[in-house]
Amino acid sequence: MIKVGIFGGAGYAGVELLRILVRHPAVQLMAVTSHDEVGLKVSDMFPTLRRQVDLRFVAPQDDAFKNCDVVFFATPNGIAMTQAPWLLAAGVRVIDLAADFRIRDLAEWEKWYGMAHAAPELVAEAVYGLPEVHREQIRGARVLANPGCYPTAVMLGFLPLLEAGIIDCGHLIADAKSGVSGAGRRAEMTNLYSEITDSFKAYAVGGHRHFPEIRQELSRVVGGTEIGLTFVPHLVPMIRGIHATLYAQLTSDIDGKALQDLFESRFSGETFVDVLPAGRHPETRSVRASNMCRIAVHRPQDGDTVVVLSVIDNLVKGAAGQAVQNMNIMFGEEESLGLDMVPVSP
């Protein structure tokens, strides 16, 4: 059994981890933290976990974490980097769902996240956990940087085109929409029901924290070539889901059928990427509460613009589900173990 601990079990990503891990046949849950709820039964905060989790929230210093094989951090940015060193010293592997280890340029990270990095030596060691690209490196990782939700949807959509070298890397556009759970469980006025419902808006157009992460990882796909990216996120009045509409200019005379074949071939062995038949349009509800990414590729009017549609559940493939997928790889388990959830409909 894989002995698992969770830092930050009271947020949306944390409870999603719990939902997945309590049904995972190779996992034993050891301890779960909450900054404000030490001593409270987990199932009292989340009634959906009654008869599933008997643990109480504990403090981060609890000795149970030293006996874990892996600890997930579903905490705000800046927490994992302060706690990872003592866990690693105890032989515990770390999977961070926040951004502490995603960006390799420390100056860039500090610019976007507004704090000094507490463990710069671990940034160089950390493996970026997009399984469809870095599966072999993930197997041996001690520190794993779980990708952001927007980056996951955007990178999977652009991946086949960049690998094939058939688009202009200098002029990529990612127009992405997210449900409100992507903002976390904090009580903020902008996230209130009355502020969000019956409305639809862009935000962070001048610069979003996921921008450098997306640009970094897309650049790695093409061997370090500079990526020109316009990334515009939007907030839509739904709880879960991300829909990324991606645009690129073709540099090759490739027809629609060949584009379809390219995507189907690239993801043919991937359990959690589903390329839809030609002409289809994926919906966020088709991946709700699942670890699936559904993708469709189009070439409107047979022109020189390719449009990719990519949808995920931001809390599962965009956070907790992908983290568990990475854990399975790290510990030699079947990649889909515990993650074979059928999407919820309606």
Enumerate the active-site residues.
Answer: 149
Q: Is the CB of residue 112 less than 8 Å from the CB of residue 103?
A: yes
Rounded distance, CA 208 to CA 229, Å? 12
Beta pairing, strands 229-235 & 172-178? parallel
The tokens for 232 are 């515009």
**Ramachandran category for residue 193: left, alpha or beta (phi over 0 → left; psi -120 to 50 → alpha):** alpha
Calculate the alpha carbon distances from 59 to 37, 224, 276 in Å: 9, 42, 45
Q: Is the CB of residue 83 less than 8 Å from the CB of residue 7?
A: yes
- Amino acid sitting at position 319: A
Helices (H), 192-239: 193-196, 210-221
Write out the E strands in the chain. Answer: 2-7, 27-33, 57-58, 70-73, 93-96, 127-128, 143-145, 172-178, 201-202, 229-235, 242-249, 273-275, 293-298, 305-312
| CB neighbourhood size of 202 (10 A) | 12
Ramachandran angles phi, psi of 245, nearest 5°: -105, 120
Q: Residue 232: beta bridge partners?
A: 175
- Amino acid sitting at position 67: N
Q: Is the CB of residue 22 less than 8 Å from the CB of residue 48?
A: no
